[in-house]
Structure 1
Amino acid sequence: MVGIQDPRRPAVYALRTLAVAACYFASGRLGLLRRLTVEGAVFTPIYPPTGVALACLLVLGLACWPGISLGALFLVLSIGTPGPDIVGILLGNTAGPVCAYVMLRRVGFRTDLSRLRDGLALVFLGALAAMLISSTIDVVTLILAGKLAVSGVWPIWLAWWAGDAMGVLIVAPVLLVLLEARRFPSPARRKEALALAVVTAVLVPVATHSSLSALFLVYPLLIWAALRFRLAGSMLSALFTSVMATVAATDGVGAFAGLSPVEVMLKLQLFNGALALTALLLSAVITEQHHTRLSVEEACQELAEALEHLSAHDHPAGRAPPEVEELRRARDER
């Protein structure tokens, strides 16, 4: 009936907003478990709420932005007593993911990350460009509030921007992969996945905490995960590796031992950025090639069926033409 709205819609929207806020708050508390101090300012090398916020926007739409602001408010209140600068902090934490969502939608971004262009868009638009907005607003707010000196703003701004960008590069793809999951792998593939998980669980902590600076050992695992399990395998491996590297950096061990806070920040963020970039783009290329091969196989099968149908009319009692026989052999070999 015209003029009557569904009474459940406001309740569903309120629950969705609270769910987004809860996810944002929980991921923020997890990120705050590991911090680095640069020029007297504390920041998180990987800020998961930016990835959570962008994933929520891509899945639920722009209408969920109040949940992001509400989650950021809860997070700020859990850290300490807020001041007038809280308005700018909430604006920055909300504006960055929202701008990332708008830019990604403008370029036709697909949440399954099945094309190389989707991976490039997430890297350069969703992470590197959009997070400039959130970090700049937050830093300017702290300067205006008198909590940050202008002389030491660049290292802090860089650390803030890198942490936000890493949250988008590492956390958002994992969440999108989990939401796009449709089926479990075959039993044989499950055994291989278990073997990959065991090797990763053993080798990555050794590589990140070893005094030999053996971080390069994680890249063969990343390539294995991308080749065999595409985005799901590569991004989960990258997430685990980034977490282990962050633990080693905040503890000052392994490849991060004996470095100054600024050097630790730069080395960790360069490693995490290279890791996430490799995992995301490599898996996107492999997925795109896989889909292309499937499309070619389907086209060949449709063409073979069409030729068989035509040959049934042209050669009712004889052998099929050589072209049809060739297509049949190619289909059987596949």
Structure 2
Amino acid sequence: MAFNRPLPRYPAEALRTCVIAGAYYGSAKVGLLQELVRGQVTPLWPPTGIAVVCLLWWGLRAGPGIALGAFLVNVTIGPSALAVLGIVAGNTLAPVCAWLLLRRAGFRTEMDRLRDALALVFLAALPAMLVSATVGTAVLAAADAIGGGDFWPTWSVWWTGDAMGVLVVAPVLLVARAAWPLRMMSAYRWAEAAALVCGTTAVTVVATRTDVNLLFLAFPLLIWAAFRFQQTGAAPCTLVVSVVTISAAADDAGPFKDHALPAQMLILQAFNGAAAMTALLLSAVVTERNRTHLEIAYVCGLLATAVTRLAPSGGVQEWPPPPHARRPDGDDGTGGEGGGGTGGGRTGR
């Protein structure tokens, strides 16, 4: 019965709900610094990434915290109470859909397989976030908060923001638990990591603040991060690239200058999506390769141990025998053609 449950569980659940709601609210305030539509639609919405990660960690027990955080964020900026409830429902339902799709695909939070990276991109980010974008934009349109001609521009910004939150924020949180081995790195590796982050930031700022389209310059650095540090390095670098690029889009700078809002969102989504996919997928491939090499080495060690134990007391003979151990006539001591050895070899004339 419900009243037989231990009391400490309820304070723990309440604390979890408050922590999730606080993280959702705080990250939303950061995301709203780059709002583009009505003060509440932004091209990067970090709460979606936080919500998906919380669901991966705690399941549906994280749902109340997500809903509470979404309500606290929208209650002061929503057009009406009914519209706020509709937006909260969409913002809560989209991460839940993403979590269900990831669980169905057998997603692992370590993201050490290619299928995990593909699932995060093509299940959690792109299709699942259609729910929140469609529901939220429809609610704003029904409440006359946006005009009929602003529906698709608003929808594109909403979907871009939610998808980017999953693509660039969720991986950073998921690899945070794996960041502790960084303390054991050598000084050279620390210097390389610092140079990578600083270089990625500097190159992206230059690429997004010049009239010449140089966005492609960020990709070599993301590839470097994926090869050298896998997800632990690729996820933070992707976040840096996305934040800097979104800031340029909000300021109509660089390659986003003189473009309408839908065109800006198309450029932004294409670039950030390509950057996130490059980093995530390449990191997963490198991680799988490294793990395969370790498994092969482990199996080879087991095989060598088994052969040593099964060998006669004389030890394991090397095969093929070294050149100095072979007979002058080229016979290796096994009898050669026709059975060799004593009495089984060829008869002379």
TM-score, normalising length: structure 1: 0.89
Distance in 1, matches of 2:110 and 2:319, equals: 37
Contact 1:88 1:138 in 2 (8 A): yes
Structure 1 stretch 127-136 or stretch 40-49: which is displaced more? 40-49
Distance in 2, matches of 1:324 and 1:103, equals: 54
Shift of the 297–10 alpha-carbon distance from structure 1 to 2, 3 Å rule, reads: same
Contact 2:20 2:54 in 1 (8 A): yes
- Which AA in structure 2 matches 1:221? L
Distance in 2, matches of 1:3 and 1:203, equals: 59
Q: Any idea what SS the aligned residue of 2:316 has?
A: coil
Aligned counterparts, 1:86-235, within 5 A: 86-184=84-182, 185-187=184-186, 188-235=188-235
Contact 2:66 2:92 in 1 (8 A): yes
Identity between Structure 1 and Structure 2 (%): 45
TM-score, normalising length: structure 2: 0.86
1:257 corresponding residue in structure 2: 257
2:276 corresponding residue in structure 1: 276
Shift of the 105–324 alpha-carbon distance from structure 1 to 2, 3 Å rule, reads: farther
1:285 corresponding residue in structure 2: 285
Unaligned runs of at least 5 residues, structure 1 = 327-334
1:35 corresponding residue in structure 2: 35
| Pick aligned residue for 1:73 from 66, 71, 81 | 71
Q: How many residues align?
A: 319
Shift of the 101–181 alpha-carbon distance from structure 1 to 2, 3 Å rule, reads: same
2:241 equivalent to 1:241: yes
1:164, CA displacement in angstroms? 0.8
Contact 1:304 1:324 in 2 (8 A): no
1:182, CA displacement in angstroms? 4.2
2:5 corresponding residue in structure 1: 5
Distance in 2, matches of 1:10 and 1:325, equals: 72
Q: Any idea what SS the aligned residue of 1:212 has?
A: coil
Distance in 1, matches of 2:146 and 2:103, equals: 35
- Which AA in structure 1 matches 2:124? G
Contact 1:36 1:265 in 2 (8 A): no
- Which structure's residues are more often helix, by fraction? 1
| Pick aligned residue for 2:317 from 295, 318, 321 | 321
Name which structure has the greater RCO, CA cutoff 8 Å, separation 6+. Answer: 1
1:85 corresponding residue in structure 2: 83
1:166, CA displacement in angstroms? 0.9
Contact 2:87 2:139 in 1 (8 A): yes
- Which AA in structure 2 matches 1:295? E
Distance in 2, matches of 1:79 and 1:244, equals: 26
Unaligned runs of at least 5 residues, structure 2 = 323-349
Contact 2:101 2:124 in 1 (8 A): yes
String of CA shifts for 1:26-63, please: whole Å, max 9, x gaps: 111110111224xx786211111100100111012211
Larger Rg: 2
Distance in 1, matches of 2:321 and 2:61, equals: 56
- Which AA in structure 1 matches 2:256? F
1:205, CA displacement in angstroms? 1.4
String of CA shifts for 1:206-237, please: whole Å, max 9, x gaps: 12212222111111101100000011211111
Contact 1:41 1:156 in 2 (8 A): no
Q: Any idea what SS the aligned residue of 2:6 has?
A: coil
2:59 equivalent to 1:61: yes
